[in-house]
Amino acid sequence: MSNYSGNLEEREGGSGSGSEQGSEDKDRGVFEFFGWVYHLGVNSIGHEYCNLRFLYIRGKYVEMYKRDPHEYPGIKSIRRGVVSSTLMVEELGRKKVNNGDLYVIRFYNRLDETKKGEIACATAGEARKWMEAFDQAKQQAEYELSKGFSSRRKLNMGNELNLVHQPRVRRYAHGLRKLIRIGQGPESLLRQSSDLGRNVKANGYFDSDVGDVIEAHEWKCVRAVNGIRIFEDMADIKSCKNILVKSVGVVEASLDAVFEVVLGLDRRQRYEWDVFTGDLELVDTLNGHHDVVYGTYDPKYHTRWRSKRDFVFSRQWFRGQDGAYIILQFPATHKKQPPKSGYRRTNLNPSTWEIRCLTSSDSNVPRCLVTLMLEIHSSGWFRWKRNHSQFEKTVPYALLCQVAGLREYFGANPALVVVSPTTIVSKSSNTSSVDGEYEDAEVNEEFYDAIAADEGTEDDSDSDSESDKDGKVKLKNVSWAIASLALKRRSAPVLNKELDAQISPISLDVSEFHGSMPHGKDETDTNSWTSPGGEGFMVRGKTYLTDSAKVMGGDPLLKLLAVDWFKADSCIAKVAMHPKSLVQSEAGKKIPFILVVNLEVPAKPNYSLVLYYGADRPINKESLLGRFVDGTDSFRDARFKLIPRIVEGYWMVKRAVGSKACLLGKAVTCNYFRQDNFLEIDVDIGSSSVAKSIISLVLGYVTSLVVDLAILIEAKEEADLPEYILGTVRLNRVKPETAVPLEP
């Protein structure tokens, strides 16, 4: 946690540090965040409510108000509590509330999921920054626990109190319709974002669109139209029936503004930039990250046919931990939108949008790199390449030109470059004063209870005046440093530092260990596993903290011994204790240390992919691996990292899975089980709606996929660099029906 302390002080511009620990804690500043959100829930008689509330985060403490306390200094909070180290924050995606789309965030306690609550934001970017704010609050709670603060503070995080107000006047909110009548209330919130500016220094690190794996694409620019470059993928161009093409352009607008426009269905707005899919209407919403839309177009500009055309396609969107947006678009059918008389139903080309932030230290204008990728039949593409004028009358060309339309649209509407005007106010508070203020007020309720309390029972007599006077909605000091990447030579793991060099290594022969999934002899074996090297992955180099350089991964530290492929009616946890587990075998008991990674795949039935990694020597307790194995769950969540790589498979799956490293403990719920000579990590993929959507897409193509996974522990301090790959696995065209039933 010492690294977190240093980062926090740097983002605040530094804080004084005394010679003693107590002085250091006293001078340590805390972040403050505030802004308007929607509080969602169900009251005691089953009515859903959606109330506009002002949320204030100060350190680990959270308060909720009906009005902005900066405008009304004497107002009292209606909810207050603390963020504990077991808080989990999940993004549920978009939700329709009356006539408006909101982006919902769910909170729950990882140890007790009955403690939960929901808030909603006007835009996806605003929701992302609120999630970052709560992550800061969680880090503050973890820091205090790691420093062994007073028992009174720990009691504040453990005791729970029901703060439900007794009703004086029962009035229930009916969503947004009632509140839209109020001046600068929720109506303006639906059109603007909170003041969630990034206070990034000129010498800080910035985003990069480079992935953490080495991909096989070979892009060649074949045309430049209206300042937009069009590429084709030259890899396997002769052997593939379909060709990948993409258009790439730089749009001078914020990441969130571009995403909202691309995903929006407002006809007037789409008419200004979309030359093809301007007439869209929502057919169905499958979940917060997946919907189905219907559209029509005039074919006379795109084909030689004159009959009216319509189409149906599904859209799935995800946001990576690097902030980039991915939107997948597939042709679809839907019972609510059968073929219509007078229209000829057509299938649009499968496509993806990728929206990544481009940030430079010498410009205040936000910029995004927007990429639209299409799949085109090879025969048509080669014919169009020979006759450009013919290509310009095709549907794929009209789709590729959407990037140019976006760029010109934002250029002609500078007010839309950012979602809302931002006013960044920097402020830090003294930790001791914050703790004293809240201890005197006896705040001893955890945040999930406060946010999930029955709001329908409180006095709503003044709810109609809930809005910021000047229409500004603020959140302060959201600042993250994301390093750029550089390709350098391979790094080698420092084995002597991670494993006990005083102990002689034992021999680990893979043939002595057996799992339910067979070990592949070569790349032609299907439904099997192998253990590749780390050459296809990029990890943090020795100088990462100074130059942000990543290097090619070396050989894994741990050896993959076996893989189990189980299925059961419910999720399988603590699989290492099962008699069928390798850990319980005689050979397994002789291994100095085993890392068990149990990937719980939500489906019908549920699957578990269990990876067993062995060390030939005991772990050095003082090493990063030793601190991870015997550390707290909070430390493990902040360090356990996975890098995916689709070696072979459908390109849409590659775009959905991505190529960026993912901190699993931040994305999904991870449960840890330490006993004897092993550590088991149960990764509940179904705990995140986004991860669940991606894995359902992967399962649809799993029999044709070759997937590489690398696991590692993120290095955040200079002493832990360079990073090393803990273990790898290659899964070759897995067959779900071969999973072995496992009884509890």
Of 73-82, 191-200, 556-565, which gets the smallest average pLDDT? 191-200
Angular region, 234: left φ>0, alpha ψ -120 to 50, beta rest: alpha
Task: Name the segment(s) of the chain with CATH classification 3.30.530.20.
Answer: 219-414
51 vs 194: CA distance, rounded Å:
16
15-24, 85-94, 100-109, 284-293 — most confident range: 284-293
pLDDT at 101 over 80: yes
Distance (Å) of CA 254 to CA 171, 257, 268, 323, 364: 39, 5, 21, 12, 11
- What torsion, rounded to 10 degrees, do the Cα atoms 296, 300, 305, 306 define? 80
Q: Which of 392, 477, 370 is nearest to 56 (CA)?
A: 477
Pairing of strands 678-684, 593-601: parallel
Pairing of strands 308-319, 343-345: parallel
What's the whole-number average pLDDT of the chain?
A: 77
Tokens representing residue 359 in the block: 């940030």
* pLDDT for residue 364: 77
Long-range contacts of 153-159 (CB under 8 A, 24+ apart): 153/435, 153/439, 155/444, 156/82, 156/438, 156/439, 156/443, 156/444, 157/60, 157/82, 157/84, 157/85, 157/446, 159/444, 159/445
Q: Which of 30, 38, 64, 53 is nearest to 137 (CA)?
A: 30
628 vs 674: CA distance, rounded Å:
11
pLDDT at 211 over 80: no
Q: Are 574 and 491 in contact (CB under 8 A)?
A: no
416 vs 273: CA distance, rounded Å:
13
* pLDDT for residue 460: 42
Of 213-227, 395-409, 702-716, which gets the smallest average pLDDT? 213-227
Of 124-138, 322-336, 460-474, 532-546, which gets the smallest average pLDDT? 460-474
Q: Which of 255, 260, 259, 261 is nearest to 197 (CA)?
A: 255
236 vs 394: CA distance, rounded Å:
24
The secondary structure of residue 191, as a DSSP letter, is: T
Q: Which residues of 691-706 are buried (b: 16+ CB within 10 A; e: fewer)?
A: bbbbbebbbeebeebb
What is the average pLDDT across 672-679?
A: 95
Q: How confident is the model at residue 437 (pLDDT cuts 50, 70, 90)?
A: low
Task: Name the segment(s) of the chain with CATH classification 2.30.29.30.
Answer: 32-153
Look-up: residue for tokens 């669109």?
209
DSSP 61-93: EEEEESS-TTTSTTPPPSEEEE--TTEEEEEEE
179-183, 376-380, 411-415 — most confident range: 411-415
pLDDT at 222 over 60: yes
**Coil vs helix vs strand at 216:** coil
Residues comprising the chain, all counted: 744
* pLDDT for residue 602: 92
The secondary structure of residue 18, as a DSSP letter, is: -
H-helix segments, 253-401:
255-263, 267-271, 378-386, 388-391, 395-400
* pLDDT for residue 483: 33
Q: What fold does the segment set 219-414 form as a domain?
A: Alpha-D-Glucose-1,6-Bisphosphate; Chain A, domain 4 (3.30.530)
**Coil vs helix vs strand at 311:** strand
pLDDT at 201 over 80: no
pTM metric for this prediction:
0.69
Paired with 669 in beta bridges are: 684
Q: Which of 453, 536, 591 is nearest to 730 (CA)?
A: 536
Convert the pLDDT of each residue in 242-274 to its tens digit: 888 999 999 999 999 999 999 999 999 999 999
Q: Are 456 and 49 in contact (CB under 8 A)?
A: yes
38 vs 162: CA distance, rounded Å:
21
pLDDT at 505 over 80: yes
Convert the pLDDT of each residue in 572-607 to its tens digit: 899 999 998 999 999 999 999 999 999 999 998 999
What architecture is domain 32-153?
Roll (2.30)
* pLDDT for residue 528: 96
> SS3 letters for 640-695?
EEEEEEEEECCHHHHHHHCCCCEEHHHHCEEEEEEECCEEEEEEEHHHCHHHHHHH
* pLDDT for residue 172: 34
Amino acid at 216: A
* pLDDT for residue 29: 59
- Please report, rounded to a whole number, the percentage of residues in the chain having pLDDT higher than 70: 74
